[in-house]
């Protein structure tokens, strides 16, 4: 009788141990599922959290919390970019692409007040954005400039514009030219043309006599100019002062060559010694322009000194470049 009781107790203990083991297994299985659910909830809460767009203007190479907030907003509209806090090439592409899809925005690649307002509306209204509809995502293996529409695009002998590139929104600025007839070279991109008008108005107020001479040039036009210079001076010499097609800033629509009556409206180094040339060196940055090929920087720019060649890069970049006495290559870290 006692032996039978011990057998019964042993059986019951075995059953209890089996039940305990099963319960422990179920708890261990449930814990990862609970963690996954918690992680998903965190992601959902982050996605639903209101995004505070930064107030300051931002552009390529900027860093910090403001850039990170902008990147979060772009992610929420559909752009697959990281929240690195670095205004890198992908962020510049996303801003440029977004601007190209908004009819009212200037396409610059720079986050400004107008872009902030449009982006805020997109977020508030949950307006769909189609990433890449305006501009293809940068190709790391491409040999041509991937984002030629941004105003900080570096165009030189190493960074070439893509085949068939034509700038957006070309207009004729309301400034003086030394010729009356319309020619394509009177044109600039809208954002640069407006800045040029402001700069010329300020020069007028200073009693100066600036003239615009040559702005936009198509690929074919630059090809003809370079071929003519090669025929006259030889290719090696021509390459010091004339760009090959695709390598010219004039094709971007962001450049204007300027001159004055004191040098008979020519584009020559002596322009830098005129009152107009000296004023530009001191004040062009206030309107977003730089003297693209400054004296003493020929080894970096690979072009001779050209005090007449003005490139629009926006006020922030132009101010930094002028104050530091550097080139666009140096500013972008591409020396």
User: Please, what is the Cα angle at 173 between 171 and 179, to 5 degrees?
Assistant: 110
Whether residue 250 sits in one domain with residue 125: no
The answer to whether position 259 is within a domain reads: yes
Mean pLDDT on 307-313: 98
What is the span of the domain harbouring residue 76? 50-138
Q: Which residue has the higher pLDDT, 255 or 9?
A: 255
pLDDT given for residue 236 in this prediction? 80
Q: Provide the pLDDT confidence category of residue 70 given band limits of 50, 70 and 90.
A: very high
pLDDT given for residue 160 in this prediction? 94
Q: Quote the CA–CA distance of 158 and 163 in Å, as a whole number.
A: 15
Q: Provide the pLDDT confidence category of residue 89 given band limits of 50, 70 and 90.
A: very high
Average pLDDT, the chain: 87
The answer to whether position 41 is within a domain reads: no
Mean pLDDT on 265-279: 98
The segment with the largest mean pLDDT, out of 5-9, 14-18, 39-43, 204-208, is 204-208
The answer to whether residues 194 and 279 touch, using CB atoms and an 8 Å cutoff, is no
The answer to whether position 16 is within a domain reads: no
Residue 330 has pLDDT above 70, yes or no: yes
* Look-up of token digits 């019951």: 12
The answer to whether position 269 is within a domain reads: yes
Whether residue 129 sits in one domain with residue 179: no
Q: For residues 83-92, b (16+ Cβ closer than 10 Å) or e, as one string?
A: eebbbbbbbb
Whether residue 290 sits in one domain with residue 175: yes
Q: Which residue has the higher pLDDT, 82 or 128?
A: 82
Whether residue 117 sits in one domain with residue 199: no
Q: Quote the CA–CA distance of 6 and 13 in Å, as a whole number.
A: 11
Domain CATH code at residue 202: 3.30.1380.10
Whether residue 236 sits in one domain with residue 131: no
Domain CATH code at residue 93: 1.10.101.10
The answer to whether position 7 is within a domain reads: no
Q: Quote the CA–CA distance of 292 and 305 in Å, as a whole number.
A: 9
Q: Which residues are catalytic?
A: 306
The whole-model pTM stands at 0.82
The answer to whether position 25 is within a domain reads: no
Residue 30 has pLDDT above 60, yes or no: no
Q: Provide the pLDDT confidence category of residue 225 given band limits of 50, 70 and 90.
A: confident
What percent of the chain has a predicted confidence (pLDDT) above 90? 72
* Look-up of token digits 């030189």: 156
The answer to whether position 40 is within a domain reads: no
The number of distinct structural domains making up the chain is 2
Whether residue 175 sits in one domain with residue 69: no
Whether residue 192 sits in one domain with residue 237: yes
Q: Provide the pLDDT confidence category of residue 268 given band limits of 50, 70 and 90.
A: very high
pLDDT given for residue 23 in this prediction? 52
Q: Provide the pLDDT confidence category of residue 248 given band limits of 50, 70 and 90.
A: very high
Q: Quote the CA–CA distance of 142 and 123 in Å, as a whole number.
A: 32
The answer to whether position 304 is within a domain reads: yes
Whether residue 305 sits in one domain with residue 214: yes
Whether residue 60 sits in one domain with residue 208: no
Picking from 108, 68, 113, 72, the residue whose alpha carbon sits closest to that of residue 87 is 68
Residue 49 has pLDDT above 80, yes or no: no
Residue 21 has pLDDT above 50, yes or no: no
């Amino acid at each position: 009788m006692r032996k039978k009781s011990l057998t019964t107790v042993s059986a019951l203990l075995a059953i209890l141990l089996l039940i305990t083991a099963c319960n422990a297994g179920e708890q261990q299985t449930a814990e990862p599922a609970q963690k996954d659910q918690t992680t998903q909830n965190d992601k959902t809460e982050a996605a639903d959290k209101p995004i505070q767009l930064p107030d300051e203007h931002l552009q390529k190479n900027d860093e910090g919390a403001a850039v990170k907030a902008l990147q979060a907003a772009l992610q929420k509209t559909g752009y697959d970019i990281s929240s690195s806090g670095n205004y890198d090439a992908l962020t510049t592409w996303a801003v440029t692409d977004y601007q190209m899809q908004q009819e009212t925005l200037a396409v610059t690649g720079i986050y400004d007040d107008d872009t902030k307002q449009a982006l805020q509306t997109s977020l508030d209204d949950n307006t769909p954005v189609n990433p890449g509809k305006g501009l293809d995502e940068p190709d790391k293996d491409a040999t041509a400039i991937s984002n030629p529409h941004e105003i900080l695009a570096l165009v030189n002998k190493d960074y070439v514009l893509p085949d068939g590139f034509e700038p957006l929104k070309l207009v004729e600025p309301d400034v003086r030219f030394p010729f009356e007839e319309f020619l394509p070279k009177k044109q600039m991109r809208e954002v640069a043309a407006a800045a040029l008008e402001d700069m010329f108005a300020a020069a007028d107020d200073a009693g100066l006599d600036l003239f615009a001479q040559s702005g936009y040039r198509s690929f074919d036009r630059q090809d003809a100019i370079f071929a003519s210079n090669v025929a006259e001076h030889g290719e090696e010499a021509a390459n010091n002062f004339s760009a090959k097609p695709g390598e010219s800033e004039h094709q971007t629509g962001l450049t204007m060559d300027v001159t004055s009556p004191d040098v008979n409206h020519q584009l020559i180094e002596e322009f830098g010694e005129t009152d107009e040339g000296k004023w530009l060196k001191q004040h062009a940055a206030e309107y977003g322009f730089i003297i693209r090929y400054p004296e003493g920087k020929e080894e970096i720019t690979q072009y001779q000194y050209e005090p007449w060649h003005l490139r629009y890069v926006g006020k922030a970049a132009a101010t930094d470049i002028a104050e530091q006495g550097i080139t666009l290559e140096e500013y972008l870290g591409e020396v």
